Structure 1
């Protein structure tokens, strides 16, 4: 019988309502470089680190590969200038929920956002809550590769079969599944059917809270 020892959360879209801020910042940064993208382009790439997002956009837009080095240098840095971290807020009730969970489980967060953003949000909104924090800067390969979740499991010092991942992104679910971890999909900005590769797909944050409450009772 499996004993759950650790819960691993994605940050943007699960803990923090911030993807609209990220998508608008990316959209503006790309537009300034003469590349038009849609908000959905970023939603579908949620979880990728900066390099992964830029490469994916370039491939999808058939942009000259000779521009890659320049774009990798300029667009992510411009995106971080535009992104207003102070407007990132947690989903209502998430802090109380995590404090209860911390009494029973080890907790980790795995995000594709850069380290400065992740550390700043964790310190401002969830100080002392997480046993392990993995940002987009902490692994060479980001989501959908398994590396970010493998790193979190290693940092927590637990077995994969004793973990549950909570994700709201297509690539995030793929990353966790590629790492061999039971994954719960909790759609926030996407249609529920887009997370069907998760082991369980919930309806919304209300159902996520009910699921976590049940875990605390087991």
Structure 2
């Protein structure tokens, strides 16, 4: 059972706050705004198989939120005991993006636009926080989510030194809109993203949109879990209203 009031009261207690009034929503892209993680997993698996690096296809869902270089180095360290050279990493990530771009276009995640539109209607500023640098999706944001994620409200892999699970991406997003953690909601579908949002101090929503079990999002520190983006969109008004009545 989803209990918004309990989740908010637990957050207030953990953060030693008397109130919480969200002014910004910091939102992941892959698996949250777009139903794209299957394509990413396919592209990564093809790339690493070609490189002779043993992997499991579904493990790439667990790496969602890492920068491309971080993912490459994780697998290089596991297989070869060292990082890829910067040149290797750049070439490998370029190939991965080509594989992804050659696949059929992905669709926006069902329920995501309804969620974004509702946040904007409540005057909550929306900010993109993604570990990706995939232009084939970034270039679609203005058309699929008009007005929600202008270029000056985007944090991508190009903008951070440390990707998720480090809190840097979400903290940088807060800086872009001059917001404090206790005034921000973080929304992510992956354990690393939830860990990043939790560590940033934001109220962190975990959304189940793929094969990752709910318990992994709970263990990563999600303040509340929704079982799909449509469920989050449906219950978001209740959550936002509860923020204003929880104390």
Q: Tell me, yes or no, if the aligned pair for 2:53 and 2:75 is still in contact at 8 Å.
A: no
Partner of 1:130: 149
Partner of 1:81: 98
The alignment of Structure 1 onto Structure 2 pairs a total of residues equal to: 217
User: Structure 1 209/216 Cα, relative in aligned 2: closer, same or farther at 3 Å?
Assistant: same
Q: Tell me, yes or no, if the aligned pair for 1:48 and 1:171 is still in contact at 8 Å.
A: yes
Q: Which has the higher contact order (CA 8 A, sep 6+)?
A: 2
1:139 maps to which of 143, 160, 174: 160
Partner of 2:67: 49
Partner of 1:100: 118
Q: RMSD between aligned alpha carbons? A: 1.9
Listed as ranges, the gaps of 5+ residues in structure 2 are: 1-18
Partner of 2:139: 120
User: Structure 1 106/82 Cα, relative in aligned 2: closer, same or farther at 3 Å?
Assistant: same
Residue 64 of structure 1: how far off its partner (Å): 4.1
User: Structure 1 66/10 Cα, relative in aligned 2: closer, same or farther at 3 Å?
Assistant: closer
TM-score normalised to structure 2 length: 0.81
Structure number with bigger Rg: 2
Q: Distance in 2 between matches of 1:162 and 1:74?
A: 40
User: Structure 1 43/115 Cα, relative in aligned 2: closer, same or farther at 3 Å?
Assistant: closer
Partner of 1:180: 201
Listed as ranges, the gaps of 5+ residues in structure 1 are: none
TM-score normalised to structure 1 length: 0.91
